Amino acid sequence: MRTYKLLLAAAAGLGLQASAALADSTIKMVEVITSPPRTEFIKKQIAEFEAANPGVKVELVSLPWGQAFEKFLTMVQAGDTPDIVEMPERWMALYGNNGQLEDLGPYMANWPDVATLGERAKQFGSTVGGKQYMIPYGYYLKAMFWNKKLFKEAGLDHAPATLDEFVSSAKKISAIPGKYGYCLRGGPGATFGMNMFMNIANGKGGYFNEDGTAIINEPGSVKGLEMLAEMYKDGSAPKDSVTWGFNETVTGFYSGTCAMLDQDPDALIGVAEKMSKDDFAVAPVPAGPNGKSYPTLGYAGWAMFADSEVKEDSWKLMASLLSPKANIEWAKMVGVLPIHNGAEQDAYFKSEQFKGWFDELNGGDKYEFVTPPTHLENLGNFVDQIAIKGFQEVLLGKRAAKEVADEWAAYLTKEQQDWMAANKK
């Protein structure tokens, strides 16, 4: 210690800025929805931030998406909390209800870019206790990719407009040797797509009735689950799709293995790189028996942990990443709909490939967007573990759809009614 002090004194005597070195701060940042190109892009944005903020360094930790929920929870339980985390909507209540997240409202009050921030970003980031625990960086909205060449080969000339057409088109295409109608997602990330088809078949959006009972086991919902299971069993989807996640489904589509894929705009990046724009299109999600559709609208964003010791620098980084310019670059790279008003006027989002999503956005009452119940503390556990395990059991014929749906409903109903009781006014 004595030697260290002498060295500092010598540096000061030479006119060096030793105090600046002592003022350096390191921001620990965790990303959880990872892919190599995505990680490289965020590193580029971080490098630009570091160049503009000398003395501030960012340590980026990238968790594999398939195990991110468990790995991040383990980190937090061990006291290894980051300053900033990429927060999927379904994790927000788990950490927000436990007082672990910083309220970003006071920071936003002095943020110039809040002037163009869309109302959805404010709304969706404050679903837990009414506090702005997260600012979304974009929205994931489901629409239907369809392979024009495979449809034509099967004697079809348009994307399915209804669930009945969806099932029949999948069967006709699956009659082509080596081809399948639907890129089913049965592994990581499967829950929201599965629940979307259950809602469409049930003719009711959302998760709960007014009394807090879950709708996931209502007769129509069970029919939707049975529809997906039957498509898997009759060969309308590849057999290994029972474990498919995002990458496998997207690869299945652009490789021509299967002809339909319900996905968010992030899938467009990989598809557009591998397929001619003339060979595929994106249509709205098919409607159910009541003529309506219920596309899933999910989101993720940036959140700050309350125990961060570098909050001001952490906010600077978040504000930089969420600025209009950086956000639209990020949206194009990762495939989300951007958060700032006016971004939809960018030439990129005006392209024909985005038609399906904007048809949904502009389709009036025909499309009712369903967002996850992010206020539930154990939503992450349900979405990332319980629901996927049960879905795979149904697909493989190990359990009946009604039995599994009843189990899900019991879990969700308890969560919702407990929350309602705790938040009575």
- Give the number of C-alpha atoms closer than 13 A to the C-alpha of residue 308, restricted to the C-beta side: 23
Query: For residue 17, what are its two tokens?
Result: 């800025």
User: CA 377 to CA 381: how far, in whole Å?
Assistant: 9
- H helix or E strand, kind and range, residue 280: strand 280-283
Q: Cβ-count burial of 210 within 10 angstroms (0-12 exposed, 13-18 middle, 19+ buried)?
A: exposed
| Gap between the Cα atoms of 378 and 321, Å rounded | 28
For residue 425, name the pLDDT band (cuts at 50, 70, 90): low
18 pLDDT more than 60: no
- Structural domains of the chain, ranges and CATH numbers in brackets: 25-140+298-352 (3.40.190.10), 143-294+376-422 (3.40.190.10)
This prediction's pTM: 0.75
Residues 6 or more apart from 93 whose CB is under 8 A from it?
Answer: 127, 128, 374, 375, 376, 377, 379
Pairing between β-strand 25-31 and β-strand 56-62 as defined by DSSP bridges: parallel
Q: What is the pLDDT of residue 209?
A: 97
Q: Is 60's pLDDT higher than 90? A: yes
Q: Per residue in 193-205, pLDDT tens?
A: 999 999 999 999 9
Mean pLDDT of 136-148: 95
Is residue 233 scored above 60 in pLDDT? yes
Q: Starting from the edge strand earliest in sequence, which strands make up the sheet with 280-283, in order? A: 180-182, 258-263, 143-147, 280-283
Sheet bearing 56-62, strands edge to edge: 56-62, 25-31, 84-88, 297-304, 135-141
Using the predicted structure, report yes or no on whether residue 138 has a pLDDT greater than 70. Answer: yes
Helix-helix angle 163-174:191-202, to 10 degrees: 120
Tell whether the model's pLDDT for residue 124 goes beyond 50: yes
Is 4 a residue whose pLDDT tops 60? no
At 226 the pLDDT is 98
- Three-class secondary structure of residue 219 per DSSP: helix
Summarize pLDDT for 321-340 with one digit per residue, the tens.
999 999 999 999 988 888 99
